[in-house]
Amino acid sequence: MEGLDENLMIAPCGVNCGVCLANLRETSRCPGCRVADPSKPKTRLACKIRTCETFKETKAKFCFECEKFPCNTVKRLDKRYRTRYNMSPIENLEFIRDLGIKQFMKNEGTKWSCPNCGGVICVHKGRCFRCGMPKATPSA
């Protein structure tokens, strides 16, 4: 995640593209949701959030800037990510709104850094992409 424009690596919906499987994989790497690249996976190009008319009209950078936040599309995404990956795009967006992108990226760097080798833990796989160590789950 280091060296990349912080704003480019956080999708409008609040997902950190730097910890996404599509960005971490070796081949056909996705450069992030914000980067205009026609070779990106079709699902990223046709994303309902990224192509949202309200979002485009207001030229917002993040969904929290929209008067409809959180809309049903963002709520569905949040439910899926909470259930499958123990991560909340809505909480991410609220954090960015309240404390700023720099503090968010600092926290993300700590949260998704492998304690074993310093590599990046993939949100979708739940393990370090470099050494394979599983992400520690928070204790209840």
pLDDT in tens, 68-82: 899 999 999 999 999
| Residue at 69 is within a domain | yes
Q: What is the crossing angle of helices 72-85 and 89-99, to 10°?
A: 110
Give per-residue pLDDT as tens, 3-56: 445 567 899 999 999 999 988 988 888 888 877 776 666 666 667 777 787 777
Number of folded domains that form the chain:
1
**Exposed, middle or buried by CB within 10 Å (0-12, 13-18, 19+), for 109?**
middle
pLDDT of 108 > 50? The answer is yes
Both tokens assigned to 57? 């009209």
| Residue at 36 is within a domain | yes
pLDDT band at 137 (very low <50, low <70, confident <90, very high): low
Residue-range definition of the domain harbouring residue 117 = 6-128
Measure the CA–CA gap between 90 and 48, rounded to whole angstroms: 16
| Residue at 135 is within a domain | no
pTM, entire model = 0.83
Measure the CA–CA gap between 52 and 5, rounded to whole angstroms: 23
| Residue at 80 is within a domain | yes
| Residue at 92 is within a domain | yes
Residue whose tokens read 């796989």: 125
| Residue at 134 is within a domain | no
Neighbours of 46 (CB within 10 A): 9
Smallest CA-to-CA distance from 8 within 30, 41, 25 is with: 30
Mean pLDDT for 111-137 is 90
